[in-house]
Amino acid sequence: ARARARPRPPPGPARAPRPHLLSRILDGINRRLQDAGIEARSFGREKSLYSIYRKMLDKRLSFSQVLDVYGFRVLVADQQTCYVALGLLHGLYKPVPGKFKDYIAIPKPNGYQSLHTTLIGPHGTPFELQIRTEAMDNLAQEGIASHWLYKDSEHFGADLQQKTSTWFHSLLDLQSATDESGDFLEHVKVDLFPH
């Protein structure tokens, strides 16, 4: 009888120590931006096994199709710097074709703005990168209602007033296009409270 071969660990990213991989990518991002004179705050995270599992089920993906197991966010001072940072980081890590979204130029209906790209990091590990301003991040984290919290601060200006007005108009359009009041309320909840 032949002896059974022991299963071999998968090649590539699964062998890399996760905290080391996260810090290595984060260090590379920070160094590239600092070398270019860009002040930024950056964060990294590893998606939980449950989140990966849910994404695989919800979107009918295999594990190898989940490209955002690792995710990073870069916060910069202004919109123009978002694009400069994108160019610098696309020069550092190879972008995955077809995996770039410009939600700054074309915001989501709820006002969400960010640049999203998927890059290939060390050991061929794909990761998602989001680049946005502090104000964009606040909207993404807290929802459109966050604008009113900062009305008296320096962050609230004509631009945010315009976005809020646009959002209210989109609500009116949505209300007239939605037959069920429950559906309309769900849309409003998602916009106001994104989590």
Task: Kindly list the domain boundaries of the chain, sorted by start residue.
Answer: 12-140, 143-192
Domain 12-140 = CATH 3.40.50.2300: no
Q: How far apart are the first and last CA of the chain?
A: 56
Q: How many residues does the chain have?
A: 195
Q: Fill in the DSSP letter of residue 36.
A: T
pLDDT at 32 over 80: yes
Per-residue confidence (pLDDT) for residue 26, from 0 to 100? 96
Per-residue confidence (pLDDT) for residue 188, from 0 to 100? 62
Report the predicted TM-score, pTM, of the whole model to 2 decimal places: 0.67
pLDDT, the chain, mean: 79
Question: Which pLDDT tens digit goes with each residue over 53-110?
Answer: 787 888 887 877 766 678 999 999 999 999 999 999 999 999 999 999 999 999 988 8
DSSP letters of 104-172? TTS--TT----EEEEEE-GGG-EEEEEEEEHHHHHHHHH-TTHHHHTTTSTT--HHHHHHHHHHHHHHH
Q: Which of 7-21, 51-65, 121-135 has the lowest mean pLDDT?
A: 7-21
Per-residue confidence (pLDDT) for residue 69, from 0 to 100? 77
